[in-house]
Amino acid sequence: MNYQQPPHLQAVILDWAGTVVDFGSLAPTQIFVEAFAEFGVKVSIDEARGPMGMGKWDHIRTLCNVPAIAERYREKFGRKPTDDDVTTIYERFMPLQIEKIGLHSALIPGALDAIATLRDRGLKIGTCSGYPAQVMAKVVDIARDNGYVPDHVVATDEVPNGRPHPAQSLANVIALSINDVAACVKVDDTWPGILEGRSAGMWAVALTCSGNALGLTYEEYKALPPEKLAKERQRIEQMFEGSRPHYMINTIAELPAVIDEINARLARGEMPQGC
């Protein structure tokens, strides 16, 4: 039997915060700042945003590896943070995250319409997140109340390795009965999420304005002067270059047009691994 490449897409695998909900990816970022602050260690919003997209324990470990943050920790405790210290911070992070997740869980404008369009075109909707299952359960409940119910959800602690490893995307492939990873598109607002999709052999679409990289509310985004927005978009596109997304768009509202283009490329024989 000969290999036959997929003639069209079968599924879209969407991130959550910054992609479908929480326009500026504000919920996780602020909680990192607060969790470290409870131990007397200052972490700025910009520092907290750096590893966004990773699982939350890995995110905290990465922050603790930042020389400036590690030095602040040493000044407070007389030593650099160990994995046990990371776990202690993580255990404080979790209840804070669960308590406050509802403050930043509104659907991103245009998300429901875009997802409905994808479903009309026969695509399944898989999802994954850097949130652990305990937090995801609350996010999913709030999203359901707001009209968003994906076909599958994979939390970061439900697989052996979180982003940038491909495990979460591949878990969606299995659960959704997709027969070829090249028939999938991974959509994310962070570089670990784009690397996840790339490593899984999928098409990858990066969001430049709705998520972590811009870090603004929807209202703040819409109020940006055109020249400022253009400058910020250029910065964000440069940030994404190393993760090699196939497309970069402002928000999920623009995704249906990209899906049409990818379907056309598949019909011409193009594959995500070759470009």
Q: What is the pLDDT of residue 85?
A: 94
What residues are annotated to the active site?
15, 56
Burial class (CB in 10 A: 0-12, 13-18, 19+), 117: middle
Identify which of 95, 109, 101, 88 has the alpha carbon closest to the alpha carbon of residue 129.
101
Give me 273's structure tokens: 């691994």
The CB density around residue 44, as the number of other CB atoms within 10 Å, is: 13
CA distance 246 to 255: 12
Q: Write down the pLDDT at residue 100.
A: 83
Domains and CATH numbers, the chain: 11-26+104-274 (3.40.50.1000), 27-103 (1.10.150.240)
Count of CB atoms situated within 10 Å of the CB of 244? 14
Residues 6+ apart with CB under 8 A from 29: 45, 48, 49, 52, 212, 215
Question: What's the CA gap between 68 and 90, in Å, rounded?
Answer: 19
Q: What is the pLDDT of residue 51?
A: 86
**Tokens matching residue 179:** 């027969």
Residues 6 or more apart in contact with residue 238 via CB below 8 angstroms: none
3-state SS assignment for residue 164: coil
13 and 259 Cβ atoms separated by less than 8 Å: no
User: What does the pLDDT read at residue 31?
Assistant: 87
* pLDDT for position 99: 86
Q: Where does residue 154 fall: left (phi above 0), alpha (psi -120 to 50 degrees), or beta otherwise?
A: beta
Question: 135, 137, 127, 170: which is closest to 57 by C-alpha?
Answer: 135
Over the chain (275 residues), the average pLDDT of each successive run of 10 is 95 97 88 92 90 88 94 94 95 88 91 98 96 93 97 96 96 98 97 97 97 92 96 96 97 98 97 92
Measure the CA–CA gap between 168 and 156, rounded to whole angstroms: 7
